Structure 1
Amino acid sequence: MSKLNTQGILALITAVAYLPFLFISFYISKKHGFGRNAGWVLLLIFSIIRVVGGALLVAAEEITPPNINLYIAGYACEASGVSPLLMCTLGLLQTVTQGPDGRSKNARVFRLIHLVGLAALVLTIIGISDATSSSSDSQSHANLFRRIGVLVFGLMFIILAAIALFLWCQVGSLMKHRRTLLVAITIALPFIGVRTLYSILSTFSSSSFGISGTSTTTSTTTNSLSQFNMFNGNWHIYVIMGMVTEYVAIIVYSVAGMILPLESDYKLTTYGDEYPLYPEGHYQYPQQYRPA
């Protein structure tokens, strides 16, 4: 293995750091169900994206002559990784709103927000894939798509924070272990917010980016946001705002997923137990928690 530059080293660290979460998130998804709406499976998808993206960028540093497609794929994973983290949070918030029948309140609203997140992801990926085009028009459109995509991610985070605040106002009506899940989401939200902010600042730090030689370079810029550029900006900022924040968030969600017995919210209780109270004969388990 040749000597990696700073970007390659950070990519290698990312790939190695998320390897354990491939197994942890798979276990959590198996425990709580692989349903997209539950949010847990998106932890697995997020971990896969981080491992694959890191591996692609390391491979891009190693291969001579440089393979532009590896760089594009690696940075597409890097830039789009915030999407499953946001949609994971959305799914967990939807889980918090589940009632005694296992159904989420305002399911259509959550579905709409999910579609908005997917649209932002598509715009971001298109913007990255077209950024190396030789056509100035294509590069201009790519830059526009990337900026719209990350701004929608920012809007999505604001909506998620508002939903969490609303649920805290309704916390008395939430089931026991879902209240604890809301605590975990609230802890993770500030870190996800910083990560989302970094994506926005990075995208607006340069008008375009391209690949030349053996490294990725952005168009020369002297604006005040250049230090936030994920390609050639200040790597200390990238580590703190980009890597550490999302790692803390996934640790919080993973711990919550492993220790919270969400299915216990649906067990029949007696009048001496804490809320929820489901009198015997008047309750049916949701499908995902129904005893065999």
Structure 2
Amino acid sequence: MALTEQDNISIAEIVIYIPALFIAIWLSIRHGFGRNSGWLYLIIFSLARIIGAAMQLATIPDPTNLSLRVGAATLQNIGLSPLIMVQLALIGRAAGSIRKSTTCFVTEKRVRLIQLLVLVGLILGAVGGSQSGQSLADTGKYTVSSLSQAGTGLMIAAYVLLAFSTVLVAMQMSHMEPGEKRLVLAVGVSLPFILVRLAYSAESLYGHNPAFNQVTGNINIQLGMSVIMEMIVVTIVESIGMTLNKITKIAAQQTEADYEMLIIVTGLPTSGKTTRAKQLYNYLSDRIGDSSAPATAKYRLHLISDQKLSISRSVYDLSATPAHTRSANASEKDARATIYGATKRALSDRDIVILDGLNYIKGWRYQLFCESKAVRTPSCVLQIGCTREKAKEVNDERLRRRNEDVDVAKDTGEKSNEEQEDEEGPYEQENWENLVFRYEEPNPMTRWDSPLFTLIWEDGEEQTKQVFDSLWDAIAGEARKLVRPNQATVQRTRETGGDYLYVLDRETQEIVKRILDQQSDDGGDEIKVPRSSGNNGEELVVELPAGKKVGLPQLQRLRRAYMGLHRGGIGLEGVGNLGPERIRETFVRYLNDAFEKDG
């Protein structure tokens, strides 16, 4: 039997879409199989075209098989959905690149809503095609289903939203990262071809022109408005996909609120820390606000210092404190508690905190590091380098000015409040020497002092900007690290049947009661305990020591020790959710280990 024009088109589709399928699989492996990447939809589209063409070729020995013809027509109709989904994924990635530096109207949530619209249209099209096939089998006439029409209507709406999103993203192309602008170009070039393909579907479902009938229509119109248009779009998308940079897992997990960070400023006293902290504050304010006003409102910037918290420099003075009690300096501990509380309140997923202060104790910096890690906020250290002689010279000059001000205070009057707030006070000489002696320099080899950035007294505006640029890259650029809290700091889930401590007490008490009720006078028994509160299911076994009976005091002592361990959180890093079953299992194991040691 001679091949028809439709059969020739089907052969061409198989020849073209099999390589396209392998390319789509390779792109999915490279960029990810997630729905946000979009390459999975390209695999689905290629498979739909290959299967549809195969169904068409299967009608060659059996031309009267209507099911195959209707199946091929249905796949031809719903194949438009994956193409639109791919375009939405590409425009979503382009919008994500914009959101790293400024706000964008095209958010991830809005893109997903449009994709949901397309998905509903896909389902309606598939069900409608099945109904049309059934109608063809019953009446011998192909009738367009209202569900197919509704599905195509959703496709048209999704196309309009896609075009609108593309225009909005194109208006902010200057904010995209290098190599990402080609995404907008690919979508923009593909849109006219998708429009022609969409017009063909709309005419075949809404119009009454027999030339556009999906089963018996004009083959040349189908070839020009459907088949070729789809091949062009797939070629454009896969060509762009092979030139795109691979997004790392950390970069893919960054969101609009990715600028949060704790910046700890440290250095010798009177080494210029406050001056550099103010410069950094102004730099970050300009960097965040450069894009647009909404960005400034979204990302909050905090500068926390002793001066802003009204902490006097005398709290660090140990000259009047006996040598044997200096390690318990209450005034300095109270000051650190105030700073710690202010820092903890400011840390969130929308804030950048600059902590200006001595921060000279490495244990203190470690405590701040742990606090930031607990809220998934990266931290870094900015060290202000200055020689001891220069810092001493600055402090001596401030002491001299303060003494002069005291001498002439009666003639000139007191300074205004604004002047007092802007002026940095000196340290007493002995206090300054003591702080320099106690200063512990940050070590970039330790995780709580890294990444470490350094500015020295002599650094000019250009070098300062380079250091601040590197610091910004650590906040919002490719050098940013994904922070996960330690498992010990993650709150354990509580059982819905009651408070955690109540469940812990109840389950352990029940096991103790079972042992007392079931053990014999000679000892050495194996007490079976249900894994769950019910009597059914797997059982746990408590192996009692042989030759003696275990009394209530010993069991209660072991029970209290077990509860003390678990109440305090010791050793729970690998336990996970401590539900009743897990409590029973660990308590039985604890008892068996204790009995084995005693035996």
TM-score by length of 2: 0.40
Aligned 8 A contact 1:54 1:74 in 2 = yes
Residue 205 of structure 1: CA displacement?
A: 3.5
Q: Summarize deviations over 1:12-68 as a string: whole Å, max 9, x none.
A: 22122211101111111111111111112211111111111111111123336x433
Aligned 8 A contact 1:178 1:262 in 2 = no
Structure 1, unmatched stretches of 5+, are: 207-224, 288-292
Aligned CA-pair RMSD: 2.9
Tell me, yes or no, if structure 1 residue 259 matches structure 2 residue 243.
yes
CA distance in 2, matches of 1:62, 1:277: 69
Tell me, yes or no, if structure 1 residue 279 matches structure 2 residue 472.
yes
CA distance in 1, matches of 2:196, 2:129: 22
CA distance in 2, matches of 1:286, 1:150: 42
Give 3-state SS (helix, strand or coil) of 2:145's partner.
helix
Specify which structure has the higher proportion of helix: 1
CA distance in 2, matches of 1:132, 1:77: 12
**Alignment length (residue pairs):** 256
Tell me, yes or no, if structure 1 residue 250 matches structure 2 residue 234.
yes
Residue 162 of structure 1: CA displacement?
A: 0.6
CA distance in 1, matches of 2:76, 2:481: 40
Query: 2:223 maps to which residue?
Result: 239
Query: 1:61 maps to which residue?
Result: 60
Aligned 8 A contact 2:52 2:76 in 1 = yes
Q: Summarize deviations over 1:208-257 as a string: whole Å, max 9, x none.
A: xxxxxxxxxxxxxxxxx332233333222211110111111110000000
Give 3-state SS (helix, strand or coil) of 1:62's partner.
coil
Higher relative contact order (CA 8 A, sep 6+): 1
Residue 262 of structure 1: CA displacement?
A: 4.6
Tell me, yes or no, if structure 1 residue 77 matches structure 2 residue 75.
yes
With over 3 angstroms needed to count, the CA separation of the structure-2 counterparts of 1:17 and 1:286, relative to structure 1, is: farther
With over 3 angstroms needed to count, the CA separation of the structure-2 counterparts of 1:112 and 1:239, relative to structure 1, is: same
Matches within 5 A, 1:8-27: 8-27=7-26
Query: 1:176 maps to which residue?
Result: 178
Residue 163 of structure 1: CA displacement?
A: 0.4
CA distance in 2, matches of 1:277, 1:69: 64
CA distance in 1, matches of 2:168, 2:36: 19
- Percent identity over the alignment is 27
Structure 2, unmatched stretches of 5+, are: 252-462, 484-599
Aligned 8 A contact 1:76 1:128 in 2 = yes
For the pair shown, the structure with the greater C-alpha radius of gyration is 2
CA distance in 1, matches of 2:134, 2:235: 38
Residue 285 of structure 1: CA displacement?
A: 5.9
With over 3 angstroms needed to count, the CA separation of the structure-2 counterparts of 1:166 and 1:46, relative to structure 1, is: same
Query: 1:167 maps to which residue?
Result: 169
CA distance in 1, matches of 2:215, 2:70: 12
What amino acid sits opposite 2:115 in the alignment?
A: H
With over 3 angstroms needed to count, the CA separation of the structure-2 counterparts of 1:278 and 1:260, relative to structure 1, is: farther
Tell me, yes or no, if structure 1 residue 109 matches structure 2 residue 302.
no
CA distance in 2, matches of 1:285, 1:152: 41
Give 3-state SS (helix, strand or coil) of 1:166's partner.
helix
What amino acid sits opposite 2:81 in the alignment?
A: S
CA distance in 1, matches of 2:207, 2:61: 27
Q: Summarize deviations over 1:70-96 as a string: whole Å, max 9, x none.
A: 223222211110010011111111111
CA distance in 1, matches of 2:471, 2:157: 38
Matches within 5 A, 1:181-192: 181-192=183-194
Give 3-state SS (helix, strand or coil) of 2:132's partner.
coil
Query: 2:124 maps to which residue?
Result: 123
Aligned 8 A contact 2:190 2:236 in 1 = yes
With over 3 angstroms needed to count, the CA separation of the structure-2 counterparts of 1:281 and 1:200, relative to structure 1, is: same
With over 3 angstroms needed to count, the CA separation of the structure-2 counterparts of 1:86 and 1:132, relative to structure 1, is: same
Aligned 8 A contact 1:40 1:92 in 2 = no
Specify which structure has the higher proportion of strand: 2
Tell me, yes or no, if structure 1 residue 226 matches structure 2 residue 219.
no
TM-score by length of 1: 0.78
CA distance in 1, matches of 2:202, 2:153: 7
With over 3 angstroms needed to count, the CA separation of the structure-2 counterparts of 1:286 and 1:63, relative to structure 1, is: farther
Aligned 8 A contact 1:49 1:77 in 2 = yes
What amino acid sits opposite 2:55 in the alignment?
A: L
CA distance in 2, matches of 1:278, 1:168: 29
What amino acid sits opposite 2:87 in the alignment?
A: T
CA distance in 1, matches of 2:470, 2:32: 24
Residue 127 of structure 1: CA displacement?
A: 1.1
CA distance in 1, matches of 2:26, 2:228: 23
CA distance in 2, matches of 1:26, 1:277: 37
Q: Summarize deviations over 1:173-228 as a string: whole Å, max 9, x none.
A: 2222221111111111111111111111112244xxxxxxxxxxxxxxxxxx3322
Query: 1:193 maps to which residue?
Result: 195
